[in-house]
Structure 1
């Protein structure tokens, strides 16, 4: 992953660096990001479906890496939300209809 350092720098710039829990979250996030992209490589190598042989039968089944990638993505999103970096919505200016 080529932008890992910039992501790490960004996250560390957004948190309280003296808070060990926040620093640990950054490390977990980066670790999960590594796993996410390793799964990506596996999916590209083997495809979204893998051939399974069972005695005389051969069949296709979903690559388990796809499901794992979805789980990792959910974990990444969860950590992102726990940082509390949500964008602050810009309040719209009142319209003439809102003044009545």
Structure 2
């Protein structure tokens, strides 16, 4: 099983898999990651710059896939924000002390001094 399949399983396990919209979001997210990977492969083959010749002029420009990767990244981030995970988040760490726990803090003030 490859990394993307594992990620898809992990995401599916964290959402309500009966909610078709959420399942579709996960599928779309995985497809965007596949597209991003294909862009990486192509960029590795061709390099991050391209040379355009127009008559006697030569221009070195960034590869058009760099713009596409930026768009894909924006879509991934936007999609991540919409996931409705059903797993409980990790419990927050309990505070070690509070004003109420300490009769007086190091400055000599107590909870009764608060207005």
When the two structures are superposed, what TM-score results if normalisation uses the length of structure 1?
0.83
Q: How does 1:13-52 map to 2 (within 5 A)?
A: 13-52=13-52
CA distance in 1, matches of 2:67, 2:91: 33
State how many pairs are aligned. Answer: 97
Q: Pick which of 55-64 and 28-37 moved more.
A: 55-64
In the TM superposition, residue 9 of structure 1 has moved relative to its aligned partner by 0.3
Give 3-state SS (helix, strand or coil) of 2:42's partner: helix
Q: Which runs of 5+ in 1 are unaligned?
A: none
Map of 1:7 onto structure 2: 7
Aligned Cα root-mean-square deviation (Å) = 2.3
Higher helix share: 1
Q: Which runs of 5+ in 2 are unaligned?
A: 99-104, 111-115
When the two structures are superposed, what TM-score results if normalisation uses the length of structure 2?
0.73
In the TM superposition, residue 90 of structure 1 has moved relative to its aligned partner by 3.3
